Amino acid sequence: MSRRTQVVAATPALRVLGLAGIEYTVHEYEHDPRARRYGGEAAEKLGVIPNRVFKTLHILVDSEPVSALVPVSGQLDLKALASAAGGKKATLAGVAEAERRTGYTAGGMSPFGQRTSTPVYVDESVLEHDTVFISAGRRGLEIEMRPNDLLMLTNASVGRIAQLD
């Protein structure tokens, strides 16, 4: 793996990774504006299995914002996330609220460089892979990195928070 931020304009996520000094690779692809399943599109265009591509979701647990990362091949289990976060109820934040709080657009949300720092929860399936793909902060731009680096940099809690297909 290498650090390749010079190929694209730096996003807040790429700036965070650059400062962290870890190894990662940036992958860019042409985003189809008609696509609605951004993670599935990333997996297809990058030629990787969907369970290696993790989507970042902005969730409210008992009205407090958190970020949840789950493979695009599955669905977030809201009850499991609420329990992992020590709460009673988890709901998906609205798109406008998520974009305002993170500073990213839907389909390009990254757990790195968000406008407001939130606790991060990652599905345990992340540990099944040598590397995983995470949004680099815009549609059509992905970061490939080691799961342990992702967990360390986000100070994430790991647990079973996804229902995998």
**Per-residue pLDDT tens digits for 44-68:** 889 999 999 999 999 999 999 999 9
Beta strands (DSSP E) in 6-153 are 25-28, 53-61, 64-71, 74-76, 90-92, 120-123, 132-138, 141-145
Residue 65 phi/psi, 5-degree rounding, is -75, 140
Q: Is the pLDDT of residue 38 over 50?
A: yes
**Could you tell me the CATH number of the domain that includes residue 83?**
3.90.960.10
2: amino acid identity, one letter: S
DSSP 18: H
Please check whether residue 122 is in contact with residue 110, taking contact to mean a CB–CB distance below 8 angstroms: no
Confidence band for 9, pLDDT divided at 50, 70 and 90: low
Please state the domain count of the chain. 1
Which residues are 76's β-sheet partners?
162
Which residues are 68's β-sheet partners?
57, 121
Q: Which structural domain, as residue segments, surrounds residue 44? A: 5-164
**Per-residue pLDDT, 7:** 45
pLDDT tens-digit readout, 137-156: 998 899 999 999 999 999 99
The whole-model pTM stands at 0.90
